[in-house]
Amino acid sequence: MTITEQYLASAIPTPCRLLGARLRPYCVGHAMLLHRFESPFVAGDSDGSAAQARDLVFAALICAHTFEEAIQGLTTRRFHRLARRGRLQCFLRLRTPEQLRRKIELFREYLAQGSRWPSILAPRDAGSQPGAPWLQRLKLALMIHLGKTESEALNTPLGAAQWDYAAFWEGKAAWQITSDRDLEMFRTARGLEAAEAL
Nearest to 4, CA basis, from 139, 146, 174, 183: 183
Contact 26, 115 (CB under 8 A): yes
pLDDT surpassing 80 at residue 14: yes
Query: pLDDT by residue (tens digit) across 139-197?
Result: 999 999 989 999 999 999 999 899 888 888 888 878 788 878 877 887 787 777 777 77
User: What residue spans of the chain are helical by DSSP H?
Assistant: 3-11, 28-36, 53-63, 67-73, 77-93, 97-114, 134-144, 150-154, 158-171, 180-197
Contact 3, 117 (CB under 8 A): no
- Please tell me the least confidently modeled range out of 41-45, 105-109, 128-132, 174-178: 128-132
DSSP-derived 3-state class of residue 121? strand
Higher pLDDT among residues 179 and 33, named by residue: 33
Res. 45 pLDDT band, cuts 50 70 90: low
Give the C-alpha separation, 99 to 145, whole Å.
44
What are the extents of the domains in the chain?
Answer: 7-114, 120-197
What pLDDT is recorded for position 108?
Answer: 92
Give the C-alpha separation, 178 to 197, whole Å.
26
| CB neighbour list of residue 26: distance below 8 Å, 6 or more residues apart | 13, 63, 110, 111, 113, 114, 115, 157, 158, 159
What pLDDT is recorded for position 31?
Answer: 94
- Please tell me the least confidently modeled range out of 10-14, 17-21, 175-179: 175-179
pLDDT surpassing 90 at residue 135: no
Contact 9, 116 (CB under 8 A): yes
What pLDDT is recorded for position 142?
Answer: 93
Give the C-alpha separation, 82 to 80, whole Å.
5
Give the C-alpha separation, 154 to 161, whole Å.
10
Give the C-alpha separation, 164 to 76, whole Å.
34
Query: pLDDT by residue (tens digit) across 76-105?
Result: 776 666 666 665 566 556 667 888 889 889
- Burial class from Cβ neighbours inside 10 Å (0-12, 13-18, 19+) for residue 115 reads middle
Query: pLDDT by residue (tens digit) across 52-79?
Result: 888 888 899 899 999 999 988 888 776 6
